[in-house]
Every structure is written in structure tokens, then in C-alpha cells.
Structure 1
Amino acid sequence: MSGRPPSDLLAASAPIVMPTREIAELTEKRHDNVKRDTKAMLIELGLDPLKFEGIYLDSLNRQQTEYLLDRELTDTLLTGYSAVLRRKVIARWHQLEKDAAPPSLPNFADPAAAARAWADEVEAKRTAEGKVHQLKHQVADQAPAVAGFNLIADASGSMCFRDAAANLKMRQCDLMDYLVSKKWIYERIGSEGYKAYGDRLQALDLRYNSFPYESKTTGEPKTRRQVRITNKGLTKLAAMITQDAVTKRMAAAPGQHQQHLPLPGDDPPG
């Protein structure tokens, strides 16, 4: 019987950081403003902002910069924000730290503990396979209801991306990325905000709302168009996201437990 734990349980965890993009989303601020505040803070602390820079791809596959902050620097940045916004970011940090906590290792020198760990691994695999099977049938069972509701959904009502993300139980940035990947919306260089694809407008999944505003530079009245998701579109998105999640889990299921705990009697790995 092997005395070694699986190598994946021994892998060193990467340091936990929070990107300024997520801070901007949680505090409902523009990302460029959060980056500006972060850079000023780092310089004031005598730190090189370049050492905290990260690169990500936006919805148009362009490289953009952000800052990656640890817990202490995030707390320092938030001292200039309101208590409500600070609380939202701190709650997110608690979740990040909880998710990153390493699993406790069984005592592999103890045959009884190793046997229990192996049994737990087998049970976890069976549970995961059962959930995938259950989700597959759940989607099939719900398909007629979703299709029927899609026919009677009121396309006259609509909501902004933030409210739609809340209804779908996902982050706004993840919803935006999903809509871009599914060719519902896109960004046009030189234009402000997202644009809707014509077929989504024709299908009544998306609509434009126009609202007036006053130019900060000239004071002239102007009109801005905002893409909104209709009730019909939200219903369709919910079905799409559920189906994609099931497909992804089914594809990942065969390889989820490829590295098992050693069975009693197995030869030690070379």
C-alpha cells in the first residue's frame, strides 16, 4: 500500500489576489477610476505599480491591464470608499479565502485512515456521476415547460444587465462575457456601451431603451441607447446556461476522478 498522498493534494496553492476589475464591479465604479485610485495608492506606499499589473482579454479579445491586489492592499484601497461598498468587497474576500483553503490530508501511515479516504473518494465519484445523470434528465423534463413559457413570455418588459445577472444567479461580468460569446451583444470601437445583434432584436430577446442626459462638457441635451434583456430573452438565457452547464459537467465527468487514492495492496508509484 502506498504511503504517499496524491500529488494534486500537495500542489502549492497560488497566492490569493483580487483583480481591480472585480473590485470595480462590486463597488459599482468604473474600472479606469479604480485603476487610477490603485495606482495612486501604490505610489504613495512606495510600491511599483508595474509589479502588480495583470493582463486580461476584453470582449473584443484585446489585451487590457488591471491590478492584482492582496488582502492588505485591497483593505487599504477600500478605506476611501463607503462602508457599504467596503462590506461587499470584504465579503467577497472571505469567500475567496474559504474556497482557497487546502483540504485536510488523511494520515496515510494509518491503514484505517487510508481505507476511509479511499472509500470517501469512491463515494464522491459515484455522487458526481449520479448528479450528472440527474441533471441530464432534469433538463429533458424541463424542456417542454421552458419551451411553453418561452412562447408566452412578455417581451414588453425588460431589465438591465445587472438585474438580469442577479436573476440568473451569476456575476454581471460573467453574464456580459456569455452574451458576447453567444453573439447577443458586441462592442463597437469608438462607441459607448454594448450594441445588440440584429437577430436578437428581431427575436425580441433584446431591446434598446433610450434615455436623455446632459453633456458634461457642453451642457447640450443628448440621448443614449442602452441594451436591455427582455423577459423572453431572460427565459431563453436561463435555458441556455442550464444546458451549457450540464454539457460541461458531462464532458468533465469521465476525467474528474482520474487520480484516485491508492487502493489497499497497490504497489507504491515509481
Structure 2
Amino acid sequence: MSQIEQFGNSITMTSSEIAELTGKLHKHVIRDIRGMIDALEKDGPVLGHREVLDARGYTENFYLDRELTEVLILGYSVPLRLKVIRRLHELEQVVTCHAPAIIPQTLPDALRLAADLAEQNSSLQLVVAEQAPKVRALEVLTETAGAICITDAAKQVGMQPKALFQWLQENRWIYRRAGSSRWLAYQPRLQQGVLVHKLKVLGVDDESGQQRVAEQVLVTRKGLARLGEKLAGRVA
């Protein structure tokens, strides 16, 4: 059961609830939080967290504000991040629903409240605009988690890999740059979410010792469904 607290205008999440949502051991979440705080404190004091100790002096719980919670889960997998973010939204809705209504008693108070609400509305619109690319990036990451290579996609749709590569090229899903043997996805297909690029490690350079990487085209679950429709003749 979560305990809702607030740092300023931000709700908090406990380390124990983060552990429950992510399936991690609570002691491992506490370890991750300590590592995060130690890293952030190199640039100065870190606000937005509170540590609660038990009778023995051991950490019973950390309380993190929204910002620190989001920083912490950046190191977790996409599905786990999504669970925590959804829970943050739920907590925010609970706090909003229980917030006392402010009823202006005078005309100046009413005008001031109207001005404050208008300013908040403008700020929210700016936040939505700023967060839109991040939301889309999260969607792409989620799609990538279930994406498969074109060879495996060919098996799923009942085609020979060579035939599917040819179909994808002819229908402007993939292409090759001049002088390169590697396939790339057309930008519209990336925007549609039917294909994604994933970095693939090719090996280690003998001279520099650095990893050699290249982009590999993967078919998302959405792309696989789309291919099934097209190849079945249901979509023009």
C-alpha cells in the first residue's frame, strides 16, 4: 500500500513501492537509490528525498519526489519504467482529487484565481509539447522490445527471406546506400512504427580496440501485422 506524501507540489513514491512495481528486491532498489544520490551529490546537495530508518538504524524506506523517481528508473528496462510512470500518474490523480477547492471570496481574489488558472493552463500546454518527443521515444523503445529481424519476419508471414527483402525494397520499406551492403529503413516507415533501427555490434576493431557497430533494420509487431495484411491482399 503506497503512502502519499508531497515535497512542495510533487508527490512521492517509496522505495518499497518501486520494488513492488518492478519486481526487484527492496535492498537492490535502496542500493540503486544510494548510487543515484551519490552521483548527483557530486554537483551539490540533492533535494527531493527522505530516508526513514527503523529501530535498528537500518533503512526502512526512501521517499523520492517525481523527479528523482524518474531519474532512478532511467536505468531500468522499458516495461519496468512504464509500470512506475503509470503509478506516478495514479498518485498524482489521487492528490489532485483530494486537493481542497479554492473558492474566491472577493472580486480581486476571483480575478487573481482566473489569472493563475490561465497561467497554469499555458504551462501545462508547454509541458505537453515538451514531453511529446519523449513519449514517442518511449513508444518506439517499447516497439523495439518486440521487434524481430527481417529473416525471422519472413518465417512469420510464410515467405522466403530473399522474397521478403525484395518485396520490402520494391515497396519502399527498405533501401541500401550506394556502396553499402546494409539495409536501412525509409524514414516514413520509421515514423509509422512498422520498422525500427537497432545498433548491432559487428566486432572489435583490431587497431583501436573500439566496438564496430552498424544499424540493423527490425520489423516491429505493428509492422508484422501490417505485412500480414498487405501480403494477404487485404490492403492496397
TM-score if structure 2 supplies the norm length?
0.36
Higher relative contact order (CA 8 A, sep 6+): 1
> Structure 1 length normalisation: TM-score?
0.32
Q: Which has the higher strand share?
A: 2
